Structure 1
Amino acid sequence: MVNLMGSVSILPALTPYLLVFGAFTLVFFKVFKAGKVFSRIYAFAYVFASLIFSLLTYLSVKDSGILYYELGGFPPPIGITYVVDEFSAFLAVIATGLGLLLYPLIPVLQPQSDEYYLALYLGLLAGFTGVLYTGDLFNMFVMMEVMLVSTYGLVALGGSKQSYRSAFDYAMVAGVGGLLFFMGAVLIYFATGTLNIGHMGLIEQGFAACGRGLSQNPVEALQTLSLLLFWGLVVDEALVPLHFWLPPAYSSTGPVTASLLAGVSEGVAYYALTRIVYTVLNGLNPVLEYSLRILGIASIIVGGLGALYSRSFSKTISYTVVMDSGYVAIALSLGPPGVEVALAYILAHAVVKPLLFLTAGWVRSSYGTDVFENVEGSLRSSRILQAGLIVGAAAVTGLPPTIFFIAKLGVYVNLFNSLNADVTVPLALFTSLAGSLLALTAFIKAVSAMILAPPREGLKLVPKALKTYLLLLTALTIVLGVVYAFSIEPLISSASNSITAGRIDYLSEISGILYCESGSL
């Protein structure tokens, strides 16, 4: 076992389980009436620790390479391993960083939140980090279920009939997706004799003796069964046609919850797909490539039209999440160059979507609704709220100098460079450009209703904490776009290369533990 920076090697395994422990103890605090203040401080310690652990893990990986840990000391294929490269470590910093950033707003925007809410919040972060750090397909499924169960609860705690129904709808469709992923994992185990991701990659590489499965052609089995894993992840990626749960779920829950889910959840699902594609399969096969591109095109159209015809602000934002998920899918369909674009898109999502959902959340808390015809002129009294809407809208539309402009430009450039491929590429390019126009039209409607319409009474004073957050996120949306080429692009390029060009390093880490009669890497 490789031990980097001493005890740092255990942090990828420790982080999700520590968060789960914190979640369970919070439930006991609720039973024994420890009090909200104590519980919030207690939960904050776990959220803060998760970010510190993620940062230490990322710095360790940057300094010394892949981080490897065997849970309980059992090697693969029997034991569960945690294998972290720069790609997964970078995403974990985004997930835990956003979790910590949003946490202080819980008592401000969702004051009714109790220990049950905080436990689910920790559970969601545990699911995020567990999926990102694990090197085992079954453990990835378990951590995805932790993430999804936490999401159901957080959405349901919105407290309205729509939030209950949205949580139920999501649970039903995600249950089917989880079943598909689980079936794919089980069949892969029978075919190859392993659930370790790196071990599967070795088998695909030709080290068939590493596997003890039933299939006579394990490489073909991996290529075929990966389609079950893909369709199991489509629900969590909110791609058409399995997107319908997202707009009502995100628009009916609290603004902090919606911000965290919209900022990270789809990115974690795309990470799982990218890990399977590049570590196990050594790249896209034609079926996955065309499926991603076609579903991406459909998601941009449906998400753009949904945003255009939505009657409420939060619904408009929610449909842009579906639309932007389509852009990520199209980027990933273009092969290794698209991975860097997708990572930039995920980073942009983690900044811009919270900016918009926090703005919408304050409008809804002030008026009890964010339906445009009922909140006309609602932002006229606050320059900060106006800035949040305008800059967030400009970003989603893809206008410079925002971080979203960089991400969308990457999609356009890669599509343009691939025009000789087949007919789906120019269709994807046209749809991507049309999607930006749909987003622009949808947000013009929002700006017209809430900023340009005559002012009205009833908007509460914006708390200083929320003002600070909106100013910070507004500034980040612009600053990250301005400095991207100098400071952000090298980090994203290095992280994306670690999962594409760095596959051999990942497999070498596993081959050093396994005994393969066919040879060694």
Structure 2
Amino acid sequence: MRSPVDHLVIAPILLPLAVGAFMLLLGERRRRIKMALSLGTVAALLVISMALVAIANTPVGDRWSSLIVYPLGNWPPPFGIVLVADRLSALMLLVTSILGCAALVFSLARWHRAGPRFYTLFLFLLTGLNGAFLTGDLFNLFVFFEILLAASYGLVLHGSGTARVRAGLHYIPINLVASSLFLVGVSLIYGVTGTLNMADVGRMVPALSSPSLVLFEIGAGILGVAFLVKAGMWPLSFWLPTTYAAASTPVAAMFAIMTKVGVYVILRLFLLAFGEEAGAAAGFGAEWLYFGGLATIVFGAIGVLASQSLQRLGGYSVLVSSGTLLAAIGTGNSAVISGALFYLVVSTLAICAYFLLVELVERGRQAGADVLAVSQEVFGDPDDEIEDEEDEVGVAIPATIAMLGGAFVACTVLLAGLPPLSGFIAKFAMLSALLNEAGSIKPDDWAFVILLMLSGFITLVAMSRSGIRALWVPSGDEIPRVRAIEILPIGALLFICVGLTILGGPAMRYMEATAQVLYWPQVYAQDVLGTGAPVRVPSEAAP
């Protein structure tokens, strides 16, 4: 008999899926009904995700947390489909819900009218994201991955415009290729292990023979490439800055969590399948993640410094964030990963706020004002092709520039990792974990330390330069016309980041406990597959 609380696990999937499907029956003229349904749905998702975080953070006996396993149809795992809500998945659900609320409220000013079926696509995107974070098997991970990608294809093109169509022509084929790689990798893993349940796969790896282990590693490598494309690791990230810069404002803000799907899956599967108990496969791919992450930080930092557009600067900031997280996973240090989880939350919220803020800052300026005259003459500015859907939005108020300037400074401090805000706490936690590691710090780790500090300095320089041009240099541009419904989501996101600064201690304890649980894959497997369940042996390894 399942308790009512257990059914909360499936609610983040069923709720947006059902409401989004229902809205397909409504015509485009019923915007008020769609608006009310969408707002109610994202508000409910926020409450549900907060409840799941509270449940996951509740100690059970001598355990640090509670884990909810929800077998669909009551078919026992690993044979049936299973949803799992633990500390990490509940945290990702909460971040997704916060971003969904902010982006949807911001879009109500005008973006919901820029194209058809916006609300339905938005809710389907939330369905795919929530399902990817909650699923416990690779097959349904693929299903939810495809749902979120299908919705993102429509959202990338939302608002039309030449630049968005051009970006979509890059974004869609690349993700279709990633989906194909996903299928190939999953097929190899299933062929070797005979299961798609993540916990079961992790339990089987130590029992694989050498030939089967090679095939398993090949499958895991192909699967990893599919998610590294989504995470934006260099050199697979060439599509990301252009796509994020061309997307409409609420879509770009929501896409801040899309790269974290790849990071989440890599973190989950890496520690389940290639942790310390994986035998000969332990640590497989760690060096690729580490050095690939470092290369992504370098590429993103160079792009941030070279960007002459506020939108492209945001896109490259996403790459810096992804590179930092991938390098942290590659260190194999649980203390570094706990700091990286804190950084994941802060950087995602800050980047979302930044994308929303950019439209308001750019609204009162002439198109291409960020681009140097020489660069405009030689190369042109692709962002100029994005048409403004309305000439005038909102009202001009005396404090507009002050509010936008203050928000821009807050985003700069958060993304650069400067004190006193939570971005500094996140970076300090990662640096202290590396520098205080038992024994002497490894030479490779110095590269991470240096790049982490250098990328913050470069972000500070680039954003200060862009902020001065946009807000502090006197010009003939008009004061931006801003609505309260547009500034409130930005303020709410920054307020949460400030709250994470004040409550940094409890937040870091949650992240530390999450990292510790991730490094206990055998406990996760027992909870998902059943306490005391015997270790299954692949047929090829059986006597």
TM-score, length basis structure 2: 0.85
Please report how far the alpha carbon of residue 8 of structure 1 lies from its aligned counterpart in structure 2 after TM superposition: 2.4
Question: Could you tell me which residue of structure 2 aligns to residue 500 of structure 1?
Answer: 519
Structure 2 CA distance for aligned equivalents of residues 131 and 58 of structure 1: 17
- Residue 49 of structure 2 is aligned with which of 46, 54, 62? 54
Structure-to-structure mapping, 1:55-454, within 5 angstroms: 55-63=50-58, 65-113=66-114, 116-206=117-207, 218=212, 221-262=215-256, 264-282=257-275, 285-335=282-332, 336-367=334-365, 369=367, 371-373=369-371, 382-417=401-436, 420=440, 422-454=442-474
Q: Which digits, 9 at most, give the CA deviation of each residue in 1:219-239, with x for residues without a partner? A: 554444321221111111111
- Matches of 1:517 and 1:343 in 2, distance apart? 30
Match of 1:211 in 2: none
1:469 to 2:489 alignment: yes
Describe the superposition over 1:362-387 as per-residue Cα deviations: whole angstroms up to 9, x where unpaired. 13344473641599xxx996101001
Deviations 1:70-90 (A, max 9, x none): 112222333211122111112
* Structure 2 counterpart of 1:281, one-letter code: F
Residues of 2 paired with 1:351 and 1:15: CA distance? 20
Deviation of residue 168 (structure 1)? Answer: 2.1
Is the CA contact 1:87–1:498 (under 8 Å) kept in the aligned structure 2? no
SS of equivalent to 2:83: strand
**Alpha-carbon distance, 1:218 to partner:** 4.9
Q: What is residue 39 of structure 2 aligned with on the other side?
A: 44
Which secondary structure state, in structure 1, belongs to the residue aligned with residue 345 of structure 2? Answer: helix
Q: What is the deviation of 1:250?
A: 1.3
Cα gap change, 1:497/1:386 in structure 2, threshold over 3 Å: closer, same or farther?
Answer: same
Where 1:243 maps in the other structure, the secondary structure is coil
* Aligned-pair CA distance for 1:184: 1.0
| Distance in 2 between residues matched to 1:191 and 1:291, nearest whole Å | 23
Q: Against the structure 1 CA distance between its residues 24 and 114, is the aligned structure 2 distance closer, same or farther, given a 3 Å change threshold?
A: farther
Instruction: Give the Å deviation of 1:188.
Output: 0.7
Change (3 A) 1:489 1:35: same
SS of 2:476's equivalent?
A: coil
Contact 1:360 1:370 in 2 (8 A): no
**Measured at CA, do residues 58 and 428 of structure 1 come closer, stay the same or move farther in structure 2, by a change above 3 Å?**
closer
Task: Report the identity percentage.
Answer: 22
| 1:459 aligned residue | 479
Assess if the C-alpha contact under 8 Å between 1:75 and 1:513 holds in 2: no
Aligned to 2:382: none
Tell me how far apart the structure 2 counterparts of residues 197 and 507 of structure 1 sit (CA, whole Å).
9
How far has the Cα of 1:299 moved from its partner? 1.1
CA shift, 1:40, in A, is: 1.1
Output the CA distance in 1 between the equivalents of 2:466 and 2:110: 22
Residue 204 of structure 2 aligns to a residue whose secondary structure is: helix
Task: Note closer, same or farther for the CA distance 1:320–1:132 as it changes in structure 2 (3 Å cut).
Answer: same
Q: Distance in 1 between matches of 2:303 and 2:535?
A: 55
Q: Tell me, yes or no, if structure 1 residue 15 matches structure 2 residue 12.
A: yes
CA contact (8 A) 1:398 1:408 kept: yes
Q: AA paired with 1:327? A: T
On the 8 A contact 2:435/2:441 being kept in 1, the answer is no
Q: Which amino acid in 2 is paired with 1:248? A: T
State which drifts further: 400-409 or 411-420: 411-420
The 1:147/1:455 distance shift into structure 2, 3 A limit, reads same
Aligned residues: 502
Amino acid at match of 1:29: L
Report the CA distance shift for 1:374/1:363 in structure 2 as closer, same or farther (over 3 A): farther
Check whether the contact 1:152–1:171 (CA below 8 A) recurs between aligned residues: yes
User: 1:85·1:498 contact (CA, 8 Å) conserved in 2?
Assistant: no
Write the letter of the residue equivalent to 2:14: Y
Is the contact between residue 400 and residue 480 of structure 2 (CA under 8 Å) also seen in structure 1?
A: no
Over aligned residue pairs, what C-alpha RMSD do you find?
2.7
Q: Deviations over 1:328-353 (max 9, x none)?
A: 11111121223212211111023211
| Distance across 1 between alignment mates of 2:490 and 2:90 | 27
Please say if residues 331 and 342 of structure 1, whose CA atoms lie closer than 8 Å, have aligned partners that are also in contact.
yes
Shift of 1:100: 2.0
Q: Cα offset for 1:356? A: 1.2
**1:234 aligned partner, one-letter code:** L
Q: TM-score, normalised by structure 1?
A: 0.89
Contact 2:336-2:430 within 8 A present in 1 as well:
yes
In 2: Cα distance, 1:119 partner to 1:190 partner: 37
Q: What corresponds to 1:212 in structure 2?
A: none
Give the Cα–Cα distance (whole angstroms) in 2 for the partners of residues 408 and 75 of structure 1: 41
For the residue of structure 1 that corresponds to 2:70, the secondary structure is strand
Q: Distance in 2 between matches of 1:343 and 1:231?
A: 22
- The alpha-carbon deviation at position 260 of structure 1 amounts to 1.6
Q: Does 1:491 align with 2:510?
A: yes
User: Which runs of 5 or more structure 1 residues have no equivalent in the other structure?
Assistant: 209-214
Provide closer, same or farther for how the CA distance between residues 232 and 111 of structure 1 changes in structure 2, counting only shifts above 3 A.
closer
**Once the 2 structures are TM-superposed, how far is the Cα of residue 417 of structure 1 from its aligned partner?**
4.2
Pair 223,384 (structure 1): closer, same or farther in 2 beyond 3 Å: same
Equivalent residue letter for 2:511: I
**How far apart are residue 201 of structure 1 and its match?**
1.8
